[in-house]
Structure 1
Amino acid sequence: MKVLIADDHRLIIEGVKIKLAELDPNVDAVVAMNLEELDQAIAAHADELDLALVDIAMPGTQGHQHVAKLREQAPALPVIVLSGSEDADLMRALIDLGVLGFIPKAYSPDVMLSAIRLVLAGGIYIPPLLLANAQAQGWQPLETATTGGPTHSVDALRNLLTERQIDVMRLLSQGKPNKLIARDLGISEGTVKIHLAAIFRALNVRNRVEAVVASRKLQGL
């Protein structure tokens, strides 16, 4: 297993390596300690990586732009964010980008390992307190992996997609290309591609046509 660990604290990096060895004694860690090294690591290893663990705050980064860029460069790569913050708005923004896990650094190494196992199995990890906060505000992200094909119940499909992804699917169902979807939603084409990659993964489909067929089972689309 090859894992990207992007963090500017050597102690965190070494601790993560130790826990990852419990999953795979032969884990190959690619380390990045700032934005430049992160860009270099993705350029050199994107097609080889099985997982990325990325700090939300590193030298050279601004907000979570580096995470958005990573998702655009490697949309199929599972990404887990490590953060010193437990801010619900930050968590929602990252999940909407297609991040599959959000682990506060205050949590134990064993919780981190369980979260990694869940993500590698195809699920998504959100801290319980943040999930409760988000759901109280009416936002329900994906909690578990999808295992079937494009045929899901309406309720299951609604739980698979975020509100922004549903917006993208609605426009996709109208036959609009990425450029028009981006214009209508006020986002970039790159962000549309990120959402589409997350939608394909959530619906277990391979392309836009299959995604539209699956989306017909969503109420309101």
Structure 2
Amino acid sequence: MKILLVDDHALFREGLRYVLQQLPEDVEVLEAGNFHDGLKLAEQYPELDLALLDLNMPGSEGPISIKFFHQRYPHIPVVVVSGEDGRGVMETVMNYGAMGFVCKNSTAPVMLGALKLVLSGGVYIPPQILQQHSVAEPKPRDGDRVDRRSLRTNEYGLTARQMEVLKHLAAGLSNKEIAQAVYLAEGTVKIHVAAIYQLLRVNSRMEAVRAAEQLGLIGSSSHG
């Protein structure tokens, strides 16, 4: 297995290289200290299984560089490993084609779990971002009556929006089609799908639909 690691901090690359050696397969790590050298290596090794890219490093212009990399090498799954943890940046990066976003303050087991998920075809989003996303609606001020509808999740922790995405997912729509149907960015749909997987404890669309049917969340009794 070949993995490209692009980060301008040699010490961080060394630590991540150690983590990568714990993956189940033998890993060859190709390293670059800036975005341009990373592009050259991707050109040189089209058989790469994964690219780990920092957002802020020489030659990179942040999320737009991730978009450029993805458009140039769409066959190489990209995971952003960044010190940034803002939801806006993360959503933009996912919308630009990244398959995962791992915060640099994550532990080694979290990093390994994220990489295994992406290598198996999944999408990884940090749990703190998923939590932020679920409670992004305004919270009541002291003394205000709580509007339960705005904060409500069902007994499985799914929000109304996630249920909407789940129903479209069960109908066989792609992330892009779901995004058009519910008027959201494709990156935001990816986040909802990842949240659904996490809450239903599944790893694929098929498993998600099966679990939702078993729980009575969708199926013949479901309307609209």
Instruction: Name the TM tier (shorter chain).
Output: 0.5 to 0.7
Shift of 1:63: 2.2
Residue in 2 that maps onto 1:31: 31
Structure 1 position 79 matched with structure 2 position 78:
yes
Residue in 2 that maps onto 1:161: 175
Q: Is the 8 A contact 2:5 2:31 kept in 1?
A: yes
Moved more, 71-80 or 21-30: 21-30
Q: Is the 8 A contact 1:157 1:203 kept in 2?
A: no
Task: Give the letter aligned to residue 88 of structure 2.
Answer: D
Q: In structure 2, what is the Cα distance between the partners aligned to 1:160 and 1:203?
A: 10
Residue in 1 that maps onto 2:119: 120
Structure 1 position 91 matched with structure 2 position 90:
yes
Q: In structure 1, what is the Cα distance between the partners aligned to 2:75 and 2:25?
A: 24
CA RMSD, Structure 1 to Structure 2 (Å): 3.1
Deviations 1:82-128 (A, max 9, x none): 01011000111111112111110011111101100111111111111
| 3-state SS, counterpart of residue 22 of structure 2 | helix
TM-score, with normalisation over the residues of structure 1? 0.63
Q: In structure 1, what is the Cα distance between the partners aligned to 2:69 and 2:171?
A: 26
Taking a change above 3 Å as real, the CA distance of residues 56 and 17 of structure 1, as seen in their structure-2 partners, is: same
Residue in 1 that maps onto 2:7: 7
Shift of 1:24: 4.4
Q: In structure 2, what is the Cα distance between the partners aligned to 1:31 and 1:24?
A: 20
Q: In structure 2, what is the Cα distance between the partners aligned to 1:63 and 1:157?
A: 35
Aligned residues: 160
Q: In structure 2, what is the Cα distance between the partners aligned to 1:96 and 1:4?
A: 21
Q: Is the 8 A contact 1:96 1:162 kept in 2?
A: no
Q: Is the 8 A contact 2:55 2:82 kept in 1?
A: yes
Q: Is the 8 A contact 2:169 2:205 kept in 1?
A: no
Task: Give the letter aligned to residue 18 of structure 2.
Answer: I
| Structure 2 residues without counterparts, runs of 5 or longer | 138-165, 183-203, 207-223
- Identity score, percent: 34
| 3-state SS, counterpart of residue 85 of structure 2 | coil
Q: In structure 2, what is the Cα distance between the partners aligned to 1:34 and 1:24?
A: 28
Q: In structure 1, what is the Cα distance between the partners aligned to 2:8 and 2:66?
A: 15
Where relative contact order (Cα < 8 A, 6+ residues apart) is larger, the structure is 1
Equivalent residue runs for 1:41-120 within 5 Å: 41-45=41-45, 47-120=46-119
Residue in 2 that maps onto 1:180: none
Shift of 1:160: 5.5
Q: Is the 8 A contact 1:84 1:105 kept in 2?
A: yes
TM-score, with normalisation over the residues of structure 2? 0.63
Q: In structure 1, what is the Cα distance between the partners aligned to 2:171 and 2:38?
A: 34
The ranges of structure 1 where at least 4 consecutive aligned residues each deviate by more than 6 angstroms after the TM superposition are none
Q: In structure 2, what is the Cα distance between the partners aligned to 1:42 and 1:107?
A: 26
